[in-house]
Amino acid sequence: MADKAQTLENEYQLRFSDNSDYRHALWRILCRDFFQRFIAADATVLDLGCGWGEFINNIQAARKYGMDLNPESGRLLAADVRFLQQDCSRPWDVPAESLDVVFTSNFLEHLPDKASVEQTVKEAGRALKPGGRLICMGPNVKYLPGAYWDFWDHYVPLTEQSLAELLRLHGFSIQRQVARFMPYSMSTGFNPPLGLVRAYLRLPPLWSWVGRQFLVIARKAAPAGAASGPT
């Protein structure tokens, strides 16, 4: 595990150190202008594969967790975020049915195999409250058939449909399934002006032209007649 953690730390430095300020500014916009609507102010949220905390440091919630194997993540999370340094395919160090939202971005494809992805989804289902949300964003291999493999640690090819099918198999219902959401430039390539990002989020017709990352929002089944959280 120590070797894996050191490799992750090196990969993050190689990929993200040159544009870390831009990434944090970008995620402030993504959280405020898009993702916050799915997360209530009193929610308990876990950021799966939290990296340098771009999402979890910027989202507004009552209780926040960040999970990652990279030890550097813990040093970069805000003071109100509890850091869980662990393998996400192993039992999570959170109580059953204690989370309102699990969020993950550009992470599941880095897991070593489909079995690890499936076990991670099972853990999310265990940890989420009935009616809780799982929000997943990531590169869609359908629209990145070559570039998808330009990252050494991309192992599992995913599409919005394959991920949605896996979630349904494990008791989730799909609230929103978008094949083309954000462009594929979050870590490398063109970094658009932040004003353009704000405009882009308000213009979904553009997503089908530019988007190369999927968005899947799923909800854990709630008992009949039970409240299911914010819409």
Which residues share a beta bridge with 214?
A: 138
Calpha distance 36→111 (Å, rounded): 26
- Look up the CATH superfamily of 2-220: Vaccinia Virus protein VP39 (3.40.50.150)
| Amino acid, single-letter form, for residue 30 | L
Supply the pTM of this predicted model.
Answer: 0.89
Calpha distance 83→73 (Å, rounded): 8
Would you state the structure tokens that stand for residue 98, as one six-digit string?
């204690």
Say whether 40 sits in a helix, a strand or coil: coil
| Amino acid, single-letter form, for residue 216 | V
State the pairing for strand pair 128-139/213-220.
antiparallel
| First-residue to last-residue Cα distance in the chain | 39
CA distances 41 to 79, 94, 100, 229, 230, Å, are 17, 20, 11, 12, 10
Along the 231 residues of the chain, how does pLDDT read in single tens digits? 556 655 554 555 444 445 778 889 999 999 999 999 999 999 999 999 999 999 999 999 999 999 999 999 999 999 999 999 999 999 999 999 999 999 999 999 999 999 999 999 999 999 999 999 999 999 999 999 899 999 999 999 999 999 999 999 999 999 999 999 999 975 555 788 999 999 999 999 999 999 999 999 999 998 766 555 555
Q: How many CA atoms lie within 13 Å of 164's alpha carbon, on the beta-carbon side?
A: 15
- 201, exposed or middle or buried, with CB in 10 Å at 0-12, 13-18, 19+? middle
Domain ranges of the chain: 2-220
